[in-house]
Amino acid sequence: MNLVTKLLCLLLFFSACSLAVDQSHHNAAHELMRLLQQKSGTLFIDTVVHTITRSDSALKKHELDIYTLIQTYLNSPEYKETRINAIMYYFSEPEIRAIVKVVKNPSFTNHSPEQVALFKKYERVFNRLEKEFIEYMKERLKIKYRRESGLH
């Protein structure tokens, strides 16, 4: 084998290893997202709907519709992939796996201080993102219901 062929083989090997690591990181983020949706998905939607309708009484009469819209959005492949990418952005694969352990067994007695700190970091990050999501949804809903009522 000549030098160019050896270098190409080496590049292909490292590319394959990188893809495997990325896929493993993605899988860990997907597992965390799935676990959290199972544990608090409905509560999250209820919180978002309540926050939106409490701050804008004109949207109160559309509460059921808003609930359905948000539920549909949160179950969309686009949202799920965005959430997975956000988790991967803020946390490494080992950090995600440590958070998964905390989520699977929420009694903090069996966890290291590092795991608890990671879980608390996750909560801070996604509480901030939740607030941004609520503001985004409020604006979208105001536009939607203004348009439907004929007000532009």
Quick: pLDDT tens for 1-53.
Answer: 555 565 555 455 444 444 445 889 999 999 998 888 888 777 878 888 888 88
Residue 10 maps to a domain? no
If you compute the radius of gyration of the chain from its CA atoms, what whole number of angstroms results? 21
Quick: pLDDT tens for 54-109.
Answer: 877 778 888 888 888 888 888 888 888 888 888 898 899 999 998 888 888 766 56
In the chain, the amino acid numbered 111 is H
- pLDDT in the model for residue 59: 80
Residue 94 maps to a domain? yes
Domain limits at 32? 21-148
The total number of structural domains in the chain stands at 1
Q: Is 2 left (phi over 0), alpha (psi -120 to 50) or beta?
A: beta
Instruction: Tell me the H-state helices in the chain.
Output: 3-55, 63-74, 77-90, 93-104, 113-148
Residue 3 maps to a domain? no
Residue 105 maps to a domain? yes
Residue 13 maps to a domain? no
Specify the pTM: 0.69
Distance CA 119, CA 97 (A): 11
Residue 115 maps to a domain? yes
